Amino acid sequence: MSSKMAKALTMWLLVVGLAFGIQGKVMASGMFNDIGPKYWANSEIEFLYSKDVIQGYDSSTGTYFKPENKVTRAQAAKMLVISKGYEELKPRKVRFRDVPINHWASGWIERAVSLGYFQGKDNGSFDPEGLLTRSQMSKIVAKAFGLNIQASSAKPIIFDDINSSYWAASYINALYYNGITDGDVDHYRPENNTTRAQFSVFLSRAMSEKYKLVISDKVLAKGKVTSSSLNVRTAPTTASAIAGRLYKGDTVNVLSIDGYWAAIQYNGQKAFVHKTYLKLLSTSSKPLKDRIIVLDAGHGGKDPGAVNGSVYEKNIVMDVTNLLAEKLESAGAKVMLSRSDNSEFLSLGERVDYSEDQYAELFVSLHVNAAISEAAKGAETFYNGSSNDNGEESYLLANEIQKQIVSLAGMDNRGTKQGEWYVIKHQDIPAVLVELGFISNYGDRLKLTSSQYKELYAEAIYRGIISYYNK
């Protein structure tokens, strides 16, 4: 082979090698010893590495990313500047007293400040080694990528640990509504320090539509899981694949409801859960807005219930039910009545079926008590914890209603009790049976037949339901 041919071949191999070297940086997997292909932020870390935004830490055993290391302000400044396509700006003089010109990040800090991504502190320092909190991170990312802070401020705040008065609320909202963060189930944890993995994910989502989360502007409600565990599915059917699990107390954003299925945001994607095991909480100022509540006036038609002379239980509870329905509807609830007048009669099974047919979220059955002894008096509220899947929630609801009836109507407190009544035992939603008082007791009967006290009973149950949803 001639020297000319050898040189040409060498040059060709060099060009090919460089080309494959560059492509290798883009496509390489396992570039960091501590980041495997199944690591939650692997794709985003690879993306930033391909863009020269991040580097690893070399050692004798290989290169490490150290994903759980906390990000400093200096590191964040450099990563932001590179991610936006800028180069470092050599400072001509010291801008911050703790960032000398020979500081490794002085040029990156200078550029980040000149672009408005960062500001110094009031004492003239920059604090380059200070750790970046998640709230601070939200501000610099929102500023660097020109997110519409004002528009996001007008939208509901999703995270339980952020309120409108928090200094970074608008920046955090901007990240959420631009598909950059969905927090940790229902929390943002703004004062936690930002890790290298987290910052890599935030930057990738800000830089590329490929990594953005699917976020809906219309969060219908928040849902708090009431069961010990709840399957999250890929479609609204029990035959669909399980995408994951939620656990008791977890809170999710509910996007829509269709029958018994709730579409939720789960790991940045749309998924589905059975709404029976969610306590649905309105994102508006009205806690009962759009809640489906079935009111069951006991007895009816051929069944008068407890009777004392011309006083019938079915009439008393129908009056209180109608008053309660008006209050709940005024508060935005969708109220369904198992019976609407005193001529109707439904079996116990039909009452349960009606509740299921309405896809009810709450069931309240109203009754009046009676006893052989005229001395028996007072109000009591029952729940079922033996068969009802939402027994604990039923207890909480019953307890709130009982407290309000005792307080407002001045009834003797017979307590919140476990009961095996059919209409609450055969429900899977929070369900209670309220005994307003004893028709056989003179004092209770005066209240039960009084228009004033019927209003108080309705108000008490209404307040109890409000209190339950506010907890």
For 365-398, the DSSP string reads EEEEE--SSTT---EEEEE--SS-TTHHHHHHHH
Determine the Cα–Cα distance for residues 299 and 322; give it in Å rounded to an integer: 15
Buried b (16+ CB within 10 A) or exposed e, 151-171: ebeebebbbeebeeebebbbb
Secondary structure element (H or E) that encloses residue 463, with its range: helix 451-470
pTM of the model: 0.63
Q: What does the longest C-alpha to C-alpha distance in the chain come to?
A: 123
What pLDDT is recorded for position 90? 87
DSSP state letter for 67: T
Q: 221-282: CATH homologous superfamily?
A: SH3 Domains (2.30.30.40)
Q: Cβ-count burial of 31 within 10 angstroms (0-12 exposed, 13-18 middle, 19+ buried)?
A: middle
Determine the Cα–Cα distance for residues 325 and 97; give it in Å rounded to an integer: 67
Determine the Cα–Cα distance for residues 91 and 113; give it in Å rounded to an integer: 11
**Phi/psi zone of residue 299: left (φ > 0), alpha (ψ -120 to 50 degrees), beta?**
left
pLDDT in tens, the chain (471 residues): 555 555 544 444 443 343 333 333 444 456 899 999 999 999 999 999 999 999 999 999 999 999 999 999 999 999 999 999 999 998 888 899 999 999 999 999 999 999 999 999 999 999 999 999 999 999 999 999 999 998 888 877 878 789 889 999 999 999 998 999 987 766 899 999 999 999 999 999 999 999 998 775 567 888 999 999 999 999 999 999 999 999 999 999 898 899 999 999 888 788 999 999 999 988 777 899 999 999 999 999 999 999 999 999 999 999 999 999 999 999 999 999 999 999 999 999 999 999 999 999 999 999 999 999 999 999 999 999 999 999 999 999 999 999 999 999 999 999 999 999 999 999 999 999 999 999 999 999 999 999 999 999 999 999 999 999 998
Residues 6+ apart with CB under 8 A from 253: 158, 216, 219, 222, 223, 264, 265
Residue at 77: amino acid letter: A
| The CA-based dihedral angle spanning residues 216, 330, 339, 468, taken in that order and rounded to the nearest 10 degrees | 70
Determine the Cα–Cα distance for residues 276 and 430; give it in Å rounded to an integer: 9
Question: Which residues share a beta bridge with 262?
Answer: 257, 273
Determine the Cα–Cα distance for residues 413 and 436; give it in Å rounded to an integer: 11
Question: Percent helix, strand and coil across the chain, each rounded to 5?
Answer: 35, 20, 40
Determine the Cα–Cα distance for residues 28 and 44; give it in Å rounded to an integer: 13
DSSP state letter for 161: T
CB 44 within 8 A of CB 200: yes
Determine the Cα–Cα distance for residues 276 and 87; give it in Å rounded to an integer: 54
What pLDDT is recorded for position 465? 98
Secondary structure element (H or E) that encloses residue 288, with its range: none
Owner of token pair 């901007």: 174
Tokens of residue 440, six digits:
């056989």
Owner of token pair 């035959």: 239
CB 432 within 8 A of CB 382: yes
Determine the Cα–Cα distance for residues 55 and 48; give it in Å rounded to an integer: 9
Buried b (16+ CB within 10 A) or exposed e, 210-245: ebebebeeebbbbbbbbbeebbbbeebeeeeeebee
Tokens of residue 462, six digits:
């209404």
Cα-only R_g, the chain: 32
Report in angstroms the alpha-carbon separations of 466 from 146, 165, 288, 331, 445.
41, 25, 7, 9, 27
Q: Cβ-count burial of 412 within 10 angstroms (0-12 exposed, 13-18 middle, 19+ buried)?
A: middle
Closest CA to 66 of 54, 78, 82: 54
Closest CA to 204 of 110, 55, 87, 79: 79
Q: Among the CATH numbers 3.20.20.140, 3.30.70.3280, 3.40.630.40, 3.90.226.10, which is that of 292-470?
A: 3.40.630.40
